[in-house]
Amino acid sequence: MLDYEKAISVAEQKCADRGIRFTRRRKQVLAVLIKADAALSAYEIAELCDADGDSKMPAMSVYRILELLQDGNLIHRLELANKYVSCSHISCSHKHKQSQFLICDSCRHVEEIDLSSEAVDALRVAASAAGFNSISSQLEIKGWCAQCQPSRN
Amino acid sequence: MLDYEKAISVAEQKCADRGIRFTRRRKQVLAVLIKADAALSAYEIAELCDADGDSKMPAMSVYRILELLQDGNLIHRLELANKYVSCSHISCSHKHKQSQFLICDSCRHVEEIDLSSEAVDALRVAASAAGFNSISSQLEIKGWCAQCQPSRN
DNA sequence: GTTGAAACGATATAGTGTATCTTTTACTCC
DNA sequence: GGAGTAAAAGATACACTATATCGTTTCAAC
């Protein structure tokens, strides 16, 4: 899990750089995602904000804020399963054009990994052979983490 | 695109083997998927059945039939994009435990490919290093086919 | 304080999918 | 051929994910 305090301060700085506010709502959403350390749906995020805070978080706000956080590279949207996860590189200077995710099909824990360039090249070659000139910079792979044994395949 | 007649006859045989009927509705859904040669949503399939046939195809029936066809390994469900596609191996004896798909983000054309064992191994190794003991037997990769240039990444 | 843009709230609605119950179809047994 | 039976299909309701739109609030600059 990320260093929470550091991630929040980085997020504050990034918002300042973009000339936008890092409001209570935005902080709530990011905090929930960081603390969850798993992929959450927008509505799950709203519920956790409700539980955490004082006032009700509308789902619409969550969607707006998720989009904003995504534009700031603070979170990622996982298309497999329609869920969202905090970027594991918020608080490091590491630039990453590519995003690769392992998603546990059981507990939804997400690991953001760096595939070897050989592995990525192998995918590109296979894609090229099948007539695909380019592949997405985001790769999502479902699996089962060490804590969860595969129940199905 | 698949040999339509052959694929249908194989599907008939597979249903007979399972002791279930290959009804008009089931044939309609499979036929639409084979002829489309692209990933379709359940509701798109229903619409195409409507256009093709004489009576209205209810969406619920489509979902039921898709599940049944999937159980018979006649089609695949693509979780990226919530769409369905006919199995490219319907009419060949080729057994495939693994399924790997390239999905064009623009035209939704799907290629079912066979990754080299080296590429798959590289993914497994990376997953293992990140604490994932096993990965899904279905891999979905978004990209852009030769006809569609990448508009975004 | 006024103003204006950003942020948020609220409602409506579209798309995807599941649950449940009823009706129809088709096969078997007589 | 007709009744009984189970599979298949129809129909309705509803949950979840997501977007569109419009009104309201907040906050910083002036």
DSSP per-residue string spanning chain A: ---HHHHHHHHHHHHHHHT----HHHHHHHHHHHHH-S-B-HHHHHHHHHHHSSS---HHHHHHHHHHHHHTTSEEEETTTTEEEE-TTTTS----S-EEEEEETTT--EEEE---HHHHHHHHHHHHHTTEEEE-SEEEEEEEETTS--S--
Determine whether the interchain pair A135/B143 forms a contact, defined as Cβ–Cβ distance below 8 Å. Answer: yes
Both tokens of B12, joined, read 């008939």
Contacts A80 to B, Cβ<8 Å: 79-80, 140
Name which of B71, B117, B142, B148 to mutate to probe chain A: the one with the most chain A Cβ atoms within 10 A of its Cβ: B142
Q: Do A81 and B81 touch (CB under 8 A)?
A: no
Residue-level pLDDT at A151: 52
Which residues on chain A are in Cβ contact (under 8 Å) with B37?
none
Distance of CA B149 to the CA centre of its chain: 23
Please report, rounded to whole angstroms, the spatial distance between the CA atom of protein residue B57 and the C1' atom of nucleotide C20: 19
Nearest CA in chain A to B81: A79
* Chain C nucleotides near the protein (CB, 7 A): 6-12, 15-20, 26-27
- pLDDT band at residue A1 under the 50/70/90 scheme: low
Amino acid, res. B63: Y
Q: What is the mean pLDDT of chain A?
A: 89
Residues above pLDDT 70, as percent of chain B: 93
Say how many C-beta atoms besides its own lie within 10 A of residue B48's C-beta.
20
pLDDT cut 90: percent of chain A above it: 65
Mean pLDDT score, A57-83: 93
What is the pLDDT at residue A37?
87
Contact B78, B140 (CB under 8 A): yes
Q: How do residues A97-145 score in pLDDT, each as one tens digit?
A: 788 999 988 888 899 998 888 889 999 999 999 999 999 989 999 999 9
d(CA B115, CA B139): 10
Round and report the angstrom distance from CA (A74) to C1' (C4). Answer: 29
Helix runs in B53-90, H state only: 59-71
* Phi, psi angle pair for B104, to nearest 5°: -75, 125
Nearest to B118 among A122, A131, A153 (CB): A122
Please report the domains of chain B, with CATH numbers, ordered by start residue. Answer: 4-86 (1.10.10.10), 99-143 (3.30.1490.190)
Query: Is residue B59 classed as helix, strand or coil in its secondary structure?
Result: helix
Report the pLDDT averaged over residues A40-54: 90
CA nearest neighbour of B142 among A139, A126, A43: A139
List B104's β-bridge partners, or say none: B143
| SS3 assignment, position B7 | helix
Q: Per residue of chain B (153 residues), what is the pLDDT tens digit?
A: 668 899 999 999 999 988 899 999 999 999 999 998 888 999 999 999 998 777 889 999 999 999 999 999 999 999 887 899 999 888 776 667 788 999 988 888 889 998 888 889 999 999 999 999 999 989 999 999 998 876 544
Judged by CB atoms closer than 8 Å, whether chains meet at A126 and B113 is answered as yes
Q: How far is B147 from chain A (nearest CA, A)?
A: 9
CA distance A55 to A45: 14
Q: Which nucleotide is nearest to B58 (CA to C1')?
A: D10
B139: exposed, middle or buried (Cβ count in 10 Å: 0-12, 13-18, 19+)? buried
What count of other Cβ atoms lies within 10 Å of the Cβ of residue B49? 21
Q: Which residue is nearest to nucleotide C26 (CA to C1')?
A: B21
- Per-residue pLDDT tens for B74-94? 999 998 878 999 998 887 766
Using the CA of A18, give the nucleotide whose C1' is nearest: C6
CA distance B99 to chain A (A): 11
Contact between the CB of A61 and strand C at under 7 Å: yes
The amino acid present at A47, given as its one-letter code, is E
Average pLDDT score over residue span A61-88: 93
Q: Residue A82 CA to C18 C1' — how many Å?
A: 17
